[in-house]
Amino acid sequence: MLTIAMPKGRIFEEALELLRKAGYALPPEFAESRKLMIDIPEEDMRFILAKPMDVVTYVEHGVADLGIAGKDVLLEEERDVYELLDLHISQCRLAVAGLPNSRLNDIAPRVATKYPNIASSYFREQGEQVEIIPLNGSIELAPLIGLADRIVDIVSTGRTLKENGLVEFETIANVTSRLIVNPVSYRMKDEKIDELVERLTAVIAS
Ligand code: PRP
């Protein structure tokens, strides 16, 4: 059986559609269910539903053979998983944003983010010494209430920035979802995994 860790939230719907187009018969109630582990015996598959950042952990520990994870998550933490395929879904970007016409505070510039590693290496490369303020969500609040001069966050439609009066200054990286695999699973279940990759590749190409 193949166990696949899927991210709950916005990637989920697009990933589901991709798997269905690849010919996997996933039941219609799949998306609405609150179950966190769903077996599809007809396909010899098990899905586990996890927070995007945790998908990689399940795959790294081998309790899931495969996972779907955003490139943002893969860039943030170096993990012992292989990236097999760019699924070209959930396209967005990692960007630096802040209040319009605002400058980086010269003395102690602060950057709020869910991506402390990406943010610190980005600003280090720019020659800026900044203090990173890690947050778990609603990052756009930070400049509005004076917690940070800049944020590093995901921009998808740009609506959250706009509605909060923020502007994007620089793009750090373009982001799409990737299929990742546990290295041991890939050795043990290579035939099944290669078949999944082939079927997904055909859908992506079309
Ligand atoms: C993400 C991201 C931005 C928003 C961008 O947040 O962190 O806040 O989506 O999307 P947009 O450009 O289409 O507006 P998410 O909804 O995942 O929640 P979070 O604030 O808890 O991170």
CATH code assigned at 148: 3.40.190.10
Which of 155, 171, 174 to probe ligand 1 with, by most ligand atoms within 8 A of CB? 155
Whether residue 80 is found in the same domain as residue 100: no
Question: Which of 15-19, 100-104, 167-171 has the weakest average pLDDT?
Answer: 100-104
Whether residue 164 is found in the same domain as residue 191: no
Does ligand 1 have an atom closer than 6 angstroms to the CB of 91? no
Question: Which strands make up the sheet holding 177-181, listed edge to edge?
Answer: 37-40, 45-50, 2-7, 66-70, 177-181, 82-86
Structural domain count, the chain: 2
Query: What pLDDT, in 10s, does the model give residues 143-189?
Result: 999 999 999 999 999 999 999 999 999 999 999 999 999 999 999 99
Whether residue 44 is found in the same domain as residue 82: yes
Alpha-carbon distance of 88 to 137, in angstroms, equals 24
Helices 190-205 + 10-21 axis angle, to 10: 100
Whether residue 12 is found in the same domain as residue 50: yes
Whether residue 126 is found in the same domain as residue 74: no
Say what the pLDDT of residue 83 is: 98
Residue 27, pLDDT > 90, answer no
Whether residue 82 is found in the same domain as residue 180: yes
User: What is the average pLDDT value for the chain, to the nearest integer?
Assistant: 95
Whether residue 166 is found in the same domain as residue 68: no
Whether residue 74 is found in the same domain as residue 117: no
In the block, residue with structure tokens 């997904």: 200
Whether residue 160 is found in the same domain as residue 184: no
Does ligand 1 have an atom closer than 6 angstroms to the CB of 139? yes
Alpha-carbon distance of 31 to 52, in angstroms, equals 16
Whether residue 127 is found in the same domain as residue 200: no
Whether residue 83 is found in the same domain as residue 19: yes
Residue 105, pLDDT > 90, answer no
Domain that holds residue 140: 92-174
pLDDT band at 59 (very low <50, low <70, confident <90, very high): very high
For residue 18, how far is its CA from the centre of ligand 1 (angstroms)?
22
Question: Which of 22-31, 137-146, 155-164 has the weakest average pLDDT?
Answer: 22-31
Say what the pLDDT of residue 184 is: 98
Secondary structure in 3-state letters for 75-112: HHCCCCCEEEEECCCCCEEEEEEECCCCCCCCCCCEEE
